[in-house]
A and B are shown apart, each in its own frame.
Chain A
């Protein structure tokens, strides 16, 4: 980077949203620079891409059915828009038809993960690290074990490694039994514990990420799989499928490598959806960064600060990397800086977007210095308006102020920094972020070409 580099599109944030937007803008011919810190929500991702869920918001208590998969995802998108008028699916309604294209773009961008959709267009039903189950539209090959598809004769073994701290099979298998049993009757598979004795003599692995790093080594992986296979011989009833914590290597296993794993242990061995420190989150970010770099995107670990704004346009940004500081002059900025956890939003005395000081909106009202008590429910799993907070955008994804006017003319928002829904409650999460960032990439490339952002008309036309 020379002093005051000029770029078509500068992307702030190197999470999933920033990288997807960068890839799309690059594909549309723009020169792209991604600036981000290596932290944020994307690194904690469980491994499932939640796009929409027809069963969310309509299944109270006793009606929970663990193995139900609900309607087709595309129908669920429409239902979500109907249920939540401030959701991007409702606000950017016309562009909604593109969600499938956005997801396919992601699938194609990271072939190594082999993310897959179900042929029937419905959600997968997947097991989590706690033994609960959840629905998700996309999941990578190594985590794909659809519980609702297994015959009732299936026996799923939950694998506990005595070399790995923090994971015991019994609470997980018991929870799976409970969750899958809800409303499922005889369809639920059986679950058994598979406790594998120690393989290593020395220290145990402190967490999944460290274990995964050890399993990157082919010989090491083999040793562990042999121990598992040995143990399996003594398990009755014999498992037909196996689930273990998401630690089968820090990099995605190729199809051949995974087939090989299955062969070694004599049945499919898949990973549970992860809790942080999440290996799938790392895999996804690494794959996206590699793809972006290969496509000619410049991706750098850096923080962006001190924007200079002239006549409603961002003319330069300061980039800090260690002690170094540099200026970049973007034609268009894609703001993909995440929410509170990513650092895109802050609330101390007053809430604001952290780079440009843009107003943060919650349920159509400015967040400002509102009393936290009115923004949170009383129980942890209650309804918390604060986690629907984010930027309000127009159809061209440009940020709006409280009177619905565009604040900055060459800024396009992408991913979770856009508010209007709570990813942890509404059945739609990364799927929405992938879609908005895919739109944003294309909008930004166009705007860079024409030196102006579209009029905020139909985002569908621009996409």
Chain B
């Protein structure tokens, strides 16, 4: 064991919940270490629908979740306004298929019913600065969204917010670091340190990039490893259950609709088609998942299931080019015999002391939209255990980039117009911190040029991100900048970015090649289920560029051998997680009841 260091708290898992907890702890002066086995936002937090939504889906059976989500959504807007974008939704009211009696009457009742539902949601809208619903006639709906089916009676609008979930996680982590936290990404959890009474007092970790090992100790260890949680707890001898749910999305690399659309799957589940960043996303599936958490894969059948539903409300969908898929596993709370879609999105915290494992707290469930509240509740519990009385500030203190005004006009005043788009996308991601990133352009104007034609990302942003945003590997860059997430899926930009990584992170050429192979494979995995039409053509180009024109294949192999010699840069996470035998423990963990949070604070 090389290093050993003491903290007050160790947080396992760098998803939105782990990063949120680390930020809250750090801001209260608690010495915190965050350990993530991959990159930040590699789990559910980077593979969701990206909505800071009020959870209208839960309105029918879980009003509390809806209210909680709307309130916290308001706070997220306040601390990270640069990351949010409004998504107006059109909820088409379809012609009922089984209307035997007077068609006009049935139509009327249908529209009324839809409207009453949305009136209930309007009540929560002000909490998140959302607009109340409006009712659209069929003609109005079709005028606004020409791709829509004309098999509708009318439509209702609904106002929601989208967010870049990667940035949300990363900015929480950066803020934590700026307030004294330590963040270790790409570190496998090898085991837990226990005292002679069995209490968890620390963790043993191994750096997946350098291979070095270390032990860290702390009074409290928080398990915020999402769907992996039960496995993480099992490694310490603790136990709890989740009902992990697999969710697949399809990505279109440009906007295919003007508005978000609500649609229904063949099994009656609600799904969305909506604008997201520069493109559109459609999804999601929700199925119980028992497979490998580290390598979930989308299949062509799941793609077909989503498209089938989308086609009903938006027949135009078949005209557009899919560019990839992504998969996430929800850490859904465990409940017996409920249909997947009805499982609660609320969160719970467990104390494993009754199982003979004091010192370990597990976080279960949660939503992007309420991560901050979850973090505050967990941190309050930690603070109480540590005797820390500092107040929470995460609802009002700006996240990195939200500190000052954003002025794209001023920043691009002296630059050729063509670079405006890349700069404005940077401003969306980095907020007021973009100004500093752009400063290098005075000396080296090459750096304002986009490295990626589909998702405009300029070289200056990439370099700044590699240097200052907890980037360790090539795949990390994508999550922070969206680079390689556009139509060509990294065809044009990944090799170039691997060169920037060599320069800025002092890699050897062999390491650069291992990184490039890993990042290209990650993209390949996402694109594969939609290898058709133009997307397949682009992959042929991608293959020819890298393996014909640039002859990378033999050198990928040689680089892997060179890097294996020093046993580092592992692509696969070690299966540190112990197998969870179902229902092996009879003692349940105790559920921590969080102290109520202050209402209506500003």
A interface residues, Cβ below 8 angstroms from B: 41, 44-46, 48, 50, 59-62, 64, 128-135, 162, 164-166, 168, 170-172, 174-175, 177-179, 182, 203-204, 206, 273-276, 278, 339-341, 343, 346-349, 371-373, 376, 378-381, 384, 386-387, 422-425, 429
> Contacting A339 at CB < 8 Å: which of B540, B548, B556?
B540
Contact A175 B509 (CB under 8 A): yes
Contact A133 B529 (CB under 8 A): no
Binary CB contact string for chain B from 489 to 515 against chain A (1 if under 8 A, 0 otherwise): 000100110111011000011101000
B533 within 8 A of A: yes
Contact A371 B451 (CB under 8 A): no
Contact A128 B446 (CB under 8 A): no
> Contacting A380 at CB < 8 Å: which of B444, B503, B521, B550?
B521
Contact A347 B531 (CB under 8 A): yes
B538 contacts which chain A residues (CB < 8 A)? 341
Which 4 pairs show the lowest CB-CB distances between chains A and B? Answer: A134-B551, A46-B549, A171-B499, A178-B509
Interface residues of B in 428-446 (CB under 8 A from A): 444-446
A423 contacts which chain B residues (CB < 8 A)? 544, 548
Taken together as a complex, chains A and B put the C-alpha atoms of A179 and B498 apart, in Å, by 16
Interface residues of B in 531-565 (CB under 8 A from A): 531-533, 536-561
Taken together as a complex, chains A and B put the C-alpha atoms of A349 and B556 apart, in Å, by 33
A429 contacts which chain B residues (CB < 8 A)? 548
B545 contacts which chain A residues (CB < 8 A)? 44, 275-276
- Given A130-B495, A171-B512, also A424-B521 (CB < 8 A): no
Number of interface residues of B (CB under 8 A): 58
Contact B531 A387 (CB under 8 A): no
B528 within 8 A of A: yes
Q: What's the least CB distance linking B134 to chain A, in Å? A: 38
Contact A64 B533 (CB under 8 A): no
B473 contacts which chain A residues (CB < 8 A)? none
B216 within 8 A of A: no
- Given A347-B531, A380-B523, also A164-B446 (CB < 8 A): yes
Contact A166 B547 (CB under 8 A): no
> Contacting B528 at CB < 8 Å: which of A171, A278, A347, A376?
A376
Contact A381 B529 (CB under 8 A): no
A372 contacts which chain B residues (CB < 8 A)? 300, 528-529, 531-532
Taken together as a complex, chains A and B put the C-alpha atoms of A121 and B536 apart, in Å, by 36
Contact B300 A166 (CB under 8 A): no
Q: What's the least CB distance linking B474 to chain A, in Å? A: 13
15 interchain pairs, CB-CB under 8 A:
A41-B541, A61-B558, A61-B560, A61-B561, A128-B551, A130-B499, A130-B552, A162-B444, A171-B499, A171-B500, A178-B555, A275-B550, A343-B537, A347-B531, A423-B548
Taken together as a complex, chains A and B put the C-alpha atoms of A206 and B452 apart, in Å, by 12
> Contacting A175 at CB < 8 Å: which of B444, B512, B540, B560?
B512
Q: What's the least CB distance linking A350 to chain B, in Å? A: 10
Taken together as a complex, chains A and B put the C-alpha atoms of A422 and B548 apart, in Å, by 10
> Contacting B300 at CB < 8 Å: which of A134, A164, A373?
A373
B517 within 8 A of A: yes
- Given A130-B552, A275-B550, A423-B544, also A165-B495 (CB < 8 A): no
Interface residues of B in 203-245 (CB under 8 A from A): none
Contact B544 A341 (CB under 8 A): yes
Taken together as a complex, chains A and B put the C-alpha atoms of A371 and B280 apart, in Å, by 25
A348 contacts which chain B residues (CB < 8 A)? 532-533
A-B contacts besides A182-B555, A347-B533, 5 pairs, CB < 8 Å: A171-B502, A175-B509, A204-B449, A372-B528, A387-B540
Q: What's the least CB distance linking B8 to chain A, in Å? A: 42
Q: Is the interface of B mostly helix, strand, loop or mixed?
A: helix
B533 contacts which chain A residues (CB < 8 A)? 346-348
Contact A424 B509 (CB under 8 A): no
B301: nearest residue on chain A (CB-CB)?
A371
Taken together as a complex, chains A and B put the C-alpha atoms of A333 and B544 apart, in Å, by 27
Q: Is the interface of A mostly helix, strand, loop or mixed?
A: loop
Contact B536 A347 (CB under 8 A): yes
B416 within 8 A of A: yes
Taken together as a complex, chains A and B put the C-alpha atoms of A341 and B520 apart, in Å, by 19
B137 within 8 A of A: no
Contact A425 B553 (CB under 8 A): yes
Interface residues of B in 444-481 (CB under 8 A from A): 444-446, 449, 451, 459
Contact A132 B555 (CB under 8 A): yes
Contact B541 A166 (CB under 8 A): no
Tell which of B498, B509, B543 has the most Cβ of chain A within 10 Å.
Answer: B509
Q: What's the least CB distance linking A258 to chain B, in Å? A: 22
B524 within 8 A of A: yes
A48 contacts which chain B residues (CB < 8 A)? 549
A55: nearest residue on chain B (CB-CB)?
B554
> Contacting B555 at CB < 8 Å: which of A162, A164, A179, A275?
A179
A163: nearest residue on chain B (CB-CB)?
B446
Taken together as a complex, chains A and B put the C-alpha atoms of A381 and B445 apart, in Å, by 35
Contact A128 B536 (CB under 8 A): no
A341 contacts which chain B residues (CB < 8 A)? 537-538, 540-541, 544
B555 contacts which chain A residues (CB < 8 A)? 64, 132, 178-179, 182
B299 within 8 A of A: yes
Tell which of A133, A135, A341 has the most Cβ of chain B within 10 Å.
Answer: A341
Taken together as a complex, chains A and B put the C-alpha atoms of A88 and B444 apart, in Å, by 50
Taken together as a complex, chains A and B put the C-alpha atoms of A132 and B545 apart, in Å, by 12
Contact B517 A381 (CB under 8 A): yes
B415: nearest residue on chain A (CB-CB)?
A203
A171 contacts which chain B residues (CB < 8 A)? 498-500, 502-503, 509, 512
Contact A170 B553 (CB under 8 A): no
A41: nearest residue on chain B (CB-CB)?
B544
Contact B529 A168 (CB under 8 A): no
Contact A178 B544 (CB under 8 A): no
A170 contacts which chain B residues (CB < 8 A)? 502-503
- Given A340-B540, A376-B528, A429-B548, also A64-B558 (CB < 8 A): yes
Q: What's the least CB distance linking B455 to chain A, in Å? A: 16
- Given A274-B549, A425-B553, also A373-B528 (CB < 8 A): yes
Contact A347 B550 (CB under 8 A): no
B517 contacts which chain A residues (CB < 8 A)? 379-381
